[in-house]
């Protein structure tokens, strides 16, 4: 039996913290589906297609499948044959939100477990939003995101600056 897990997120942009969770998850599961979502509560800097392409470019296609997700996470997980959802935690605030979501998901699909992975210490303060903010002021972001993502993020911010 193949152990499949889903790691959902908006990944706008993918950070080294996300990549850390992905790399550690593939050691725990036979197959990991990174489910890139359109988050209605956030204004995305990168299109869904761009985010998918960046995740694919920095992950191992033999162990990681990159896909899009719409609708309920538990329905998606079941459709992919996943028995687990992977969630990364950085701080207590993350836990409160994730705990609520996990309880709701458990009510909707008791057969789908949630696995929490604590991010490594050096990534615990990094979020996609914070990386975008630092980059927008010309700050150094290379240690927070993969090189490809840093390059594209700098380019996108420069494009937006010239459009103003």
Active site (catalytic) residues: 18, 42, 90, 128
Sheet of strand 84-89, all strands in order from the earlier edge strand to the far edge: 64-69, 31-37, 4-9, 84-89, 113-118
**Both tokens assigned to 23:** 């790399």
* Cis bond upstream, residue 161 (ω within 30): no
* Cα within 13 Å of Cα(163), Cβ side: 6
Convert 106-137 into a string of H (helix), E (strand) and C (coil).
HHHCCCCEEEEEECCHHHCCCCHHHHHHHHHC
Compute, in degrees rounded to 10, the torsion defined by CA atoms 12, 13, 17, 20: 100
What are the strands, taking DSSP E only, across the chain? 4-9, 31-37, 64-69, 84-89, 113-118
């Amino acid at each position: 039996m193949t152990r499949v897990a889903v790691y959902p997120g908006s990944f706008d942009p993918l950070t080294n913290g996300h990549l850390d969770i992905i790399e550690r998850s593939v050691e725990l599961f036979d197959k990991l589906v990174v489910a890139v979502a359109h988050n209605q509560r956030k204004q995305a800097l990168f299109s869904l297609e761009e985010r998918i392409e960046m995740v694919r470019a920095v992950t191992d296609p033999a162990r990681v499948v990159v896909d899009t997700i719409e609708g309920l996470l538990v329905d998606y997980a079941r459709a992919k044959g996943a028995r687990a959802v992977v969630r990364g935690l950085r701080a207590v605030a993350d836990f409160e939100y994730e705990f609520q979501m996990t309880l709701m998901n458990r009510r909707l699909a008791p057969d789908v477990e949630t696995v929490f992975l604590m991010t490594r210490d050096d990534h615990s303060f990094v979020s996609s939003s914070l990386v975008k903010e630092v980059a927008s002021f010309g700050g150094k972001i290379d240690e927070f995101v993969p090189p490809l993502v840093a390059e594209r993020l700098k380019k996108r911010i420069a494009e937006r600056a010239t459009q103003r």
